[in-house]
Amino acid sequence: MTPPFTLKRPKVKPVHLATGIFVARQNGFLQLKRLNRVAMHQLKVQKSGPHRGRVHPDDPYTSGKVFEELKQAGAVSERLTRDQFETVRRAIHQFVANDQAAFHCYSPHRPFGNDYSTCDRRLVTMDPSHPTDGGLGAVLVNVMGSSAAGRSILNAIDSVLDHPSPTGDLASPFLETEEIASRPPAPVETEDLANLMVLQTEALSNLANRLRNNFMPETQARLLIMGLSLWVLSATLKWSERACNTQHPRLLLADFTQRPRRPLRRASWISVVQARRQLGDYIKLCKESNPPVGDPGNWAEMFDYLGKRCGLIQPRSDTSRGRRYIEPMSDTIRVMVMSCFRDGETLLPFAKLAQRLRQTWAIVLGAEPDDPERIRAAGFGNLQEDDDLAANVSAFRERLEDLQLAARLSDGEHRCAALPEDLP
């Protein structure tokens, strides 16, 4: 029952997970002080202290100080004027500020979760006092390193990091020669978790193999991180399911029909509610055990937050009052489908793919003969096979066809592929 990891921060996004994995993989990070001073061109007014209400007189982010530093280092041409340099700073900010997730990180400013999250070793940085990944990066690297399938995933991540990115090339004139700030991952007992997640780890290994040589490095990184996000969500559900002695395996009923007032949408919403409730029960169980095993962190909130950001749960907006339900988005579908194809497989019957989606990611569509019974046993209600489940299966097939991951053959049956070029 002891949790395999303690979540330090529940609001984890896939981009945060990426940074945590990159840092854990190379046992450290770069500080990138000069790049930070160049990119953060807007001066900040002090909110407290003797210089409150004005810019700190020793602020190293001022235009003159940054410009002089770069001239002395030979990083800019003598022909570049200060006004032109400010234009360069604004342009650099647009590329590396990561949707306003990068901040003034060095004295006299307080660091706050600086995160460039670029799949390039030259730009891997983080604020060690404020790890935005909640500590999950180190957990994943430890778990993946314990099996051959997991190591193939780590090798794919290394390959992406070793590939120079356009953003890294753009920022390269403003990078200093510096040693990696060592941050060895904390030892974590991951053997039980690795054994519990063997099937999902093998699925991600299948994904990594399919991505290699078929997608650009940036796309590989995005889809791998989405797959690892699904792995984390599945791990919390399976671990809490075992600890709470859940009678039936937890299922996530996906709704692809786009019909919000139908019973299927309500059933999908119930599947999300039950998953969150089980995670909440597990947290309560940990706190009330004798002896206490410690607080694992708010896994329930992470399930909702990370699930929305990795494209599994809808609606994605934090302010939406709509009920949360399962509807994987296009890239999430692509990740799940590719992960279900093993070595040597190019085509799968639709029914086989649906079976593997349920076995691997607990995603239920209503495509298998025993799905209605499983849905009733899980407490999602009684769904009509023709009006609800058949329509859902048909909508999912259409989604696969739109993504060029399935085709209907002359015999009327659908064949699914991991890559569009594998379709007949």
Establish if 63 belongs to a structural domain: yes
Establish if 391 belongs to a structural domain: no
* C-alpha to C-alpha distance for 309 and 314, rounded to whole angstroms: 9
Establish if 79 belongs to a structural domain: yes
- For the chain, give the percent of residues with pLDDT over 90: 68
- Helices 330-339 and 217-243 cross at an angle (nearest 10°) of 70
- The per-residue DSSP string of 299-339 comes to HHHHHHHHHHHTTSEE---TT--SPPEE---HHHHHHHHHH
**Could you report the per-residue pLDDT of 360-381, keeping only the tens digit for each?**
999 999 999 999 999 999 999 8
Are the beta carbons of 230 and 336 closer than 8 angstroms? yes
**Could you report the per-residue pLDDT of 80-124, keeping only the tens digit for each?**
999 999 999 999 999 888 777 788 888 898 776 666 667 889 998
Are the beta carbons of 119 and 22 closer than 8 angstroms? yes
Establish if 89 belongs to a structural domain: yes
- Helices 217-243 and 148-162 cross at an angle (nearest 10°) of 150
* C-alpha to C-alpha distance for 357 and 355, rounded to whole angstroms: 5
Kindly list the strands in the beta sheet with 414-417, ordered across the sheet, starting from the edge strand earlier in the chain.
Answer: 347-349, 414-417, 406-408
**Total domain count, the chain:** 1
The sign one gets for the Cα dihedral 307, 309, 311, 315 is positive
pLDDT at 116: 65
Q: Which of residues 161 and 387 earns the better pLDDT score? A: 161
Are the beta carbons of 255 and 393 closer than 8 angstroms? no
pLDDT at 185: 63
Establish if 395 belongs to a structural domain: no
Q: Specify the pairing of strand 414-417 against strand 347-349.
A: antiparallel
Establish if 182 belongs to a structural domain: no
**Could you report the per-residue pLDDT of 243-253, keeping only the tens digit for each?**
998 888 899 99
Tokens of 293: 């095993």
Mean pLDDT estimate for the chain = 91
pLDDT at 115: 67
- For the chain, give the percent of residues with pLDDT over 70: 97
pLDDT at 183: 72
**Could you report the per-residue pLDDT of 268-313, keeping only the tens digit for each?**
999 999 999 999 999 999 988 888 888 899 999 999 999 999 999 9
Establish if 46 belongs to a structural domain: yes
375-402 per-residue burial string, b: 16 or more CB within 10 A, e: under 16: beebebeebeeeebbebbbebbbebbee
The sign one gets for the Cα dihedral 351, 353, 355, 357 is negative
pLDDT at 98: 75
Tell me which residue of 243, 242, 220 sits closest to 165, measured CA to CA.
220
Cα dist from 422 to 211, 308, 339, 404, whole Å: 14, 30, 15, 10
pLDDT at 130: 73
Lowest pLDDT segment from 88-97, 171-180, 244-253, 382-391: 382-391
**Could you report the per-residue pLDDT of 15-45, keeping only the tens digit for each?**
889 999 999 998 888 889 999 999 999 998 8
Q: What mean pLDDT comes out for the span 7-16? A: 90
pLDDT at 242: 93
Establish if 81 belongs to a structural domain: yes
Confidence of residue 186 (pLDDT cuts 50, 70, 90): low
Residues 6 or more apart in contact with residue 11 via CB below 8 angstroms: 301, 302, 305
Residue 127 has pLDDT above 80, yes or no: no
Residue 187 has pLDDT above 80, yes or no: no
pLDDT at 264: 95
Q: What mean pLDDT comes out for the span 314-326? A: 87
Cα dist from 415 to 102, 366, 397, whole Å: 45, 17, 10
Radius of gyration of the chain (CA): 24
Residue 50 belongs to what domain range?
35-115
Confidence of residue 346 (pLDDT cuts 50, 70, 90): very high
Tell me which residue of 309, 307, 195, 331 sits closest to 252, measured CA to CA.
307
pLDDT at 203: 98
